Amino acid sequence: MATVAQPCPSWTSGSVPLSKRLTRRRFSGRINTLTRLTPQAALVQAPPSPSAPRDNSSIQVLTLSRANDLQAEARAMARAANASVYNPQLIASMYGSQPVKVVRRTLQIVVALGSFGLKLLLDQRNGVLVKNRRLRASELKNIFTKLGPTFVKLGQGLSTRPDICPPEYLEELSELQDGLPTFPDEEAFACIERELDLSLDSIFSSISPSPIAAASLGQVYKAQLKYSGRLVAVKVQRPAIEEAIGLDFYLIRGLGFFINKYVDIISSDVVALIDEFARRVFQELNYVQEGQNARRFKKLYADKEDICVPDVFWDYTSAKVLTMEWVDGVKLNEQEAIERQGLKVLDLVNTGIQCSLRQLLEYGYFHADPHPGNLLATPEGKLAFLDFGMMSETPEEARSAIIGHVVHLVNRDYEAMARDYYALDFLSPDVDVSPIVPALRDFFDDALNYTVSELNFKTLVDGLGNVLYQFPFNVPAYYALILRSLTVLEGLALYADPNFKVLAASYPYFAKRLLTDPNPYLRDALIELLFQDGRFRWGRLENLLVQGRMDRDFSAKEALQPVLKVLLSPDGEELRTLVIKEAVQVTEAFTLSTISDTYKSVPEFMKTLVFNGNANGPIIMSEVETQNMIELRDQVFRIWGLLQSSNDFDPDLLLPILQVLQQPEARRLGERVMGGITQRLAARFLQQVLRVPTSST
């Protein structure tokens, strides 16, 4: 087991070959050039275009480059071999033998949080606990900032936990800024040399004299590589940060045991939550791991032309130093600066929403620290993601369950929504969901007075958070984090357009997945969405196709084939019965509406001659029935037109369907459909033949 590592040496240690004179004079001329550049910037390297032709020599160069990159990464991993990992038992044994340090830090925390707790107690006794929530939440945010990096991270983590904190605390803590002072530049430069075993002037031709950004765990400098001249950002970890964080989590974990035992209002296992969060923070302290996170994120999501992901310089990266490529950009919450570049905030937000949905529901690997400072708008109009220290993953089962949950929300099926919380790991299997159903109904019946696409996402999250807070939910970290991510994006968009709705922007992705994904859970969800009370909802299908085609990854070749496979499966008898009934109705609608249209085109004098002396029509149908059939036929035509107008439409997309229709079960299905159609048309024909002509007067 790795122990808590020693901090980087200070300038006064005498072990560092770099001098203050070197830092302040040798780089003084070149520093000024860097500091004149835009301070809001990030690291990004767009992937090569996949459509670009490559000859053998370029492929060999690319292969060699990748091999060199892997070797450099291996060397970086070797430098980080002794990076710390979170081990609560090891930390307990370490600080159990340092009572003075423990008592001193305990007093700092107790004084700060004790005064806050006393205020809460007085609020409760005076009956103003709910009234003063916003004020107390703001005070807690300031306390966390003063207590240092661990509590800043803790506050940011709590801002994603609706099962622990009331909505007012979620909002205030989500605005928590690091607000921490920088540490001396001399210590940062010494740390770089120690970690990389190179002198600073052998790595960089210039470096900024002070950090261009500071966070809870480290600070960032802008520099220029000596060997290539490329601009980079160099993130350096705070000295002794591991010891400070280890001590804080040792104390916080002890408080967690106390809460689990004596505080009934919090239903979650607080110690487990603390351990999970501490593991993530310690992972964030390993900058090689962060570099690997960035590489994986880039591989999964930078295939889109509007997404930029930082690239890593492994030869200048270690556990405490991270060197990445630099690109100018503007933080996503700086709307005026974005618009001055000729960009639209809403376009960037939509890009962020689509990428977030892919992270959550497609690959399950996503950015776990979503806030505006980690999202940049580049001058080219791309969205750059930053800071990959904290990442998370969504289990595969949960990805499908979330889409199913949206379907149940659309259908207002609150019993199914409540049962979804088992699949989402919100509730243990022994919890009775029946008391939760009325709470869901009370909130969503009011919220869904609007259509889902018109519903404000923040309102939805706040309302759902209130439900979660009242019942024994244990919200998984991945779910809370992605909700926060989408809420942040909607909040940014609302500044540009008060009518923006994140659910409306998300719906094309959900529609595309429902129409094309062969996952059994999603096939069932699609069938559930399209069929209700034994009727096929053609309007829903048309709407799904309209929305799904808005997603640029929609494929007409894949649309509806999952349902066709289920239809012809051994377990599809119930669905086949519904489809047969609907196919008969559609065929009848096509036939009779066509007859009706033909009849209308016949001259008046022929109508009485051809149609048994009756000019009222060739078929016995009311005007309403005729209109319904015409509308159904036209709707089917529109649906076919939507498929035909898709970018990748090809008549060959029917071939898989024709192959499936050659199966024995498909032939039997066709025979049943034809039998039903024959019976309906025969009945219509007999009704027409036996109709008594109207007598002339």
The tens digit of pLDDT for each residue in 133-178 reads 999 999 999 999 888 888 888 887 777 666 667 878 877 887 776 5
8 A C-beta contact, residue 288 and residue 85: no
Residue 33 pLDDT class (50, 70, 90 cuts): very low
Can you name the residues that pair with 531 across neighbouring β-strands? 536
What are the tokens at 288?
Answer: 């090689």
pLDDT computed for residue 4 by the predictor: 38
For residue 306, the tally of other CB atoms under 10 A from its CB is 17
In which band, very low, low, confident or very high, does the pLDDT at 440 lie, cut at 50, 70 and 90?
Answer: confident
User: Which one is catalytic: 369, 387, 420, 462?
Assistant: 369
DSSP state at residue 452: G
Residue 161 has which token pair?
Answer: 């936990």
Q: What is the share, in percent, of the chain residues with pLDDT greater than 70?
A: 66
Name the nearest CA neighbour of 156 among 165, 246, 113: 165
pLDDT at 310: 83
Answer yes or no: is pLDDT of 664 > 70.
no
pLDDT at 34: 44
CB 503 within 8 A of CB 455: yes
Which of the given ranges, 115-124, 420-429, 647-656, has the highest pLDDT on average? Answer: 115-124
* Spatial contact of 203 and 513, defined as CB atoms under 8 Å apart: no
336: exposed, middle or buried (C-beta count within 10 Å: 0-12, 13-18, 19+)? exposed
Residues 102-121, buried b or exposed e (16+ Cβ, 10 A)?
A: beebeeebeebbeeeeeeee
Assign a CATH topology to domain 184-237+287-326: Phosphorylase Kinase; domain 1 (3.30.200)
Task: Using alpha carbons, list the distances in angstroms from residue 225 to 23, 28, 232, 395.
Answer: 16, 16, 7, 40
Start-to-end CA distance of the chain, whole Å, equals: 105
Confidence of residue 634 (pLDDT cuts 50, 70, 90): confident
How far apart CA 34 and CA 210 sit, in angstroms, is 11
pLDDT beyond 90 at 454: no
Q: Find the range with the poorest average confidence among 111-125, 337-351, 475-489, 510-524.
A: 475-489
SS3 of residue 630 by DSSP: helix
269 noted as active-site residue: no
Residue 23 has pLDDT above 60, yes or no: no
Which residues have C-beta within 8 Å of that of residue 697, sequence separation ≥ 6? Answer: none
| Residues paired with residue 218 on neighbouring β-strands, in sequence order | 237
Q: Which of 4-8, 399-403, 482-486, 679-683 has the lowest mean pLDDT?
A: 4-8
The predicted pLDDT at position 668 comes to: 63
Domain coordinates in residue numbering, the chain? 88-178+242-281, 184-237+287-326, 332-536, 555-690
Give the range with max mean pLDDT: 185-194, 279-288, 433-442, 482-491: 185-194
Q: Which amino acid is at 697?
A: T
DSSP H helices, 96-161, are 99-125, 133-147, 149-158
C-alpha torsion 371→377→383→385, nearest 10: -40
Tell me which H or E stretch contains 308: strand 307-308
- Give residue 638's pLDDT: 73
CA separation for the pair 131, 144 (Å, rounded): 22
Of 233 and 565, which is predicted with more confidence?
A: 233
Q: Of the spans 56-60, 123-127, 491-495, which averages the highest pLDDT?
A: 123-127
The listed range with the strongest mean pLDDT (161-165, 228-232, 431-435, 441-445) is 228-232
What pLDDT score was predicted for residue 3? 38
Q: What angle do CA 517, 523, 524 make, to 5 degrees?
A: 155
Of residues 311 and 672, which shows the higher confidence score? 311
Q: Of the given ranges (5-19, 420-434, 584-598), which has the lowest mean pLDDT?
A: 5-19
Q: What average pLDDT does range 534-551 have in this prediction?
A: 73
What are the tokens at 525? Answer: 């969800």
Q: Rounded to an integer, what distance in angstroms lies between the CA atom of residue 550 and that of residue 97?
A: 62
pTM above 0.75, yes or no: no
Tell me what pLDDT residue 483 has.
72
pLDDT at 626: 66
> 183: pLDDT confidence band, cut at 50, 70 and 90?
very high
What average pLDDT does the segment 361-368 reach? 86
d(Cα 108, Cα 98) in Å, to the nearest integer?
Answer: 16
pLDDT score for 160: 65
Residue 543 predicted with pLDDT over 70: yes
The pLDDT of residue 48 is: 44
Instruction: State mean pLDDT over 397-403.
Output: 83
Average the pLDDT over 219-234 and give the result. 94
Among 204, 208, 210, residue whose Cα is nearest residue 229 = 204
Residue 272 pLDDT: 87
Q: Rg of the chain over CA atoms, in angstroms? A: 32
- List Cβ neighbours of 626 (8 Å cut-off, separation of 6 or more): 592, 593, 596
**Does the structure show a pLDDT above 80 at 338?**
yes
How do 327-328 and 41-42 pair as beta strands? antiparallel
Higher pLDDT, 487 or 427: 427
Beta bridge partners of 322: 235
3-state SS class at 377: strand
* pLDDT confidence band for 487 (50 / 70 / 90): confident
Mean per-residue pLDDT over the chain, rounded: 76
Q: Which amino acid is at 312?
A: V
d(CA 563, CA 77): 47
Closest listed residue to residue 489, CA positions, set 386, 378, 392, 372: 372
How many alpha carbons fall within 13 Å on the CB side of residue 581? 12
Q: Give mean pLDDT, residues 21-29.
A: 38
In the block, residue with structure tokens 């081990």: 87
Is residue 160 within 8 Å of 477, Cβ to Cβ? yes
Contact 144, 113 (CB under 8 A): no
Residue holding tokens 């958070």?
A: 465
What does DSSP assign to residue 530? Answer: H
Residue scoring higher pLDDT (676 or 386): 386
- Higher-pLDDT residue of 380 and 390 is 380
Most confident of the following: 158-167, 223-232, 269-278, 424-433: 223-232
